[in-house]
Chain A
Amino acid sequence: MTTTASTASSAEVADLPLLLESPGRRMWRRFLKNPVGVTSSIVIVLFFTVALVMGICSMLGIYFPYNPNTTELTQKLLPPSAAHWLGTDNLGRDVLSRLLNGSYISLTVGFVAVAVSLFIGVTVGAISGYFGGWIDNIIMRVVDAILCFPSFFLILTAVALLGPNIMNIIVVIGLVSWTGTARLVRAEFLTLRETEYVRAAKALGIRTPGIIFRHILPNAAAPIIVTAVVGIPDAILTEAGLSFLGFGVQPPQATWGNIISDGKTYLLDAWWLIVFPGMAIFIAALAFYLAGDALRQAAESRSERK
């Protein structure tokens, strides 16, 4: 060792790093400082816990407070009361029980459909952005073509043809909604593949999968997480829309959408059939959107700099 290669001197300590924390931790800290973000995540966790408990209970055959599918014609269209907190529907089924039971279907659709769309979107976007050239050109024209179709009617048609069961609905929503993610991931890859650390990895002879999975994808994680969170309410709303039109999950299985659909005939006599499931959809969707927005703000690199 020679003298000049001694440990970092005071001059180097003087130009201390501007960022004292990792990008991930910084995003997390800023997210926790945002009351909207925290509140909406608490709501999401609440919904998620209820859905999880309800899902497990229904698998075990335990229902709360009543069996959501037991019809009791003497009890039909009762307004909210102590016995039936949210009233009963036209077949005498307890609305609260159906709402709780439906939550796990609705949230499952949201999460799984987003997982499907994320998988396709990230893969396609990564290939398009990383390799560029004619591969990128072809992929982006296909994306444009898919975006030309009104997606809801595409989903409606596909579900009508394939049969409206929950698996088909999830897969079809996922298959139609990946284009936005693909575009976003492509844009991230186009930027990140020009960074010096990616160039350094190439100079070292790191193979393409290593560059993509170790160097580019982890650095594109923040915007991908944000689109995923915002994609969940979209999928929930799409499923609700399909159910409302009768192409969603089939009765007697309750979902938020088909409770509204069943109740629409009695709109003027039994408002509780529409209002409560509508509120569930509204609150869940709003919570996801707001959480997504708070995440996006937290990930934004510019907003904190003075």
Chain B
Amino acid sequence: MPLLEVKDLRVWFPVHGGVLRRKVGDIKAVDGVSFTIEPGQTVGLVGESGSGKTTVGRALLKLGPATSGEVFFEGRNILPLSEREFRPLRRQMQMIFQDPFGSLNPRLTCGAIIGEALTTHFKDMTAAQRRARVSDLLTQVGLKPEMASRYPHEFSGGQRQRIGIARALAVEPKFIVCDEAVSALDVSVQAQIVNLLMDLQEKLGIAYLFIAHDLAVVQHISDHVLVMHHGRIVESASSDEIYSRPQHEYTKTLLAAVPQLA
């Protein structure tokens, strides 16, 4: 059984017009997307800005709307679930965000940011156990335990992204959506974060949906690649295949746009 199975997912945003604000049409942000992700696998999702990648990622975690379709997580359709019913499943599915500056609450310490997840999902954990777990998570993502008392503004972009990863790992998820998780970072830092994600996958068996517009990064990390264009998946193939034998015109354009180092 696949870990995650998406069937014919659609996210349409209604467009209202005229004086009476009547619905005049839809923006089809995501239009009939289907794919599966196996446990411990990385699926890359590429496409240009506005192609609907982020909308798909949000819909999978019920952070954004879904108009129709089905999303099965371990065989259970999650889209009809209420927030209360879905909350226990949130432990299994996490997200890492694009903006390392915007994704951490500036008013909370790094330890509080990571620890908040623990207080929600591990109710019988004592304060000392929580502290120990936060230290452990910080070490896991390559930070120092004593950094727990610092505020986000005291970290660099790459370090902040590590905090974001530690926050997602805190609840021991089986699946993480990485929404442009390295796009805002310097190239050298990008490589480190990508390697960290791959190490964590090897150790913890987490599956990723790796959303990016940078084909080179996606090829490096993914087992399977989906190419998205105007809300649809135009090509789906293994990572090697898509680079050696791209089928769709759009994929060829994207590949041609990758800057080549001489």
Contact = CB atoms under 8 A, between A and B. Distances in A.
B192 A12 contact: yes
A8 B158 contact: yes
B151 to A, nearest CB: 5
Given A22-B151, A203-B90, A204-B120, A214 B108 contact: yes
Nearest to B179: A196
B94 interface: yes
A196 B181 CA distance: 12
A9 B154 contact: no
Contacts of B104: 197, 200
Contact of A200 (B97, B153, B195, B203): B97
Question: Which residue, A9, A199, A215, has most C-beta atoms of chain B within 10 A?
Answer: A199
Interface string B139-165: 111111000000101111111001010
Given A22-B151, A197-B102, A204-B90, A4 B195 contact: yes
Interface residues of B, number: 52
A13 interface: yes
Interface string A1-25: 1101111110111111101111110
A133 to B, nearest CB: 12
Interface residues of A, number: 38
B135 interface: no
Contacts of A17: 153-157
Interface in A151-201: 195-197, 199-201
A6 B103 contact: no
Nearest to A207: B120
A203 B61 CA distance: 7
A4 B106 CA distance: 28
A2 B87 contact: no
B117 A204 contact: yes
A5 B141 contact: yes
A238 B244 CA distance: 76
B94 to A, nearest CB: 6
A215 B105 contact: yes
Interface in B97-141: 97-99, 102-108, 116-117, 120-121, 139-141
B189 interface: yes
B189 A204 contact: no
B63 A8 contact: no
A200 B95 contact: yes
Contact of A12 (B90, B158, B195): B158
A195 B102 contact: yes
B171 interface: yes
B91 interface: yes
A214 B116 CA distance: 10
Given A23-B106, A196-B102, A15 B156 contact: yes
Nearest to A20: B153
Interface of A: 1-2, 4-9, 11-17, 19-24, 195-197, 199-207, 210, 214-215, 218-219
8 interchain residue pairs of minimum CB distance: A12-B158, A205-B90, A196-B103, A4-B195, A11-B188, A19-B153, A218-B107, A197-B105
26 contacts: A4-B195, A4-B196, A7-B142, A7-B144, A8-B143, A8-B159, A11-B186, A12-B189, A19-B153, A20-B153, A22-B106, A22-B107, A23-B106, A200-B95, A200-B103, A200-B104, A200-B164, A203-B93, A203-B95, A204-B90, A204-B121, A206-B120, A207-B120, A210-B116, A214-B116, A218-B105
Interface of B: 58, 61, 63, 87-88, 90-91, 93-95, 97-99, 102-108, 116-117, 120-121, 139-144, 151, 153-159, 162, 164, 167, 171, 185-186, 188-189, 192, 195-196, 199-200, 203
Given A17-B155, A218-B105, 9 more contacts: A7-B144, A8-B143, A13-B156, A15-B186, A17-B154, A19-B153, A21-B153, A204-B120, A205-B87
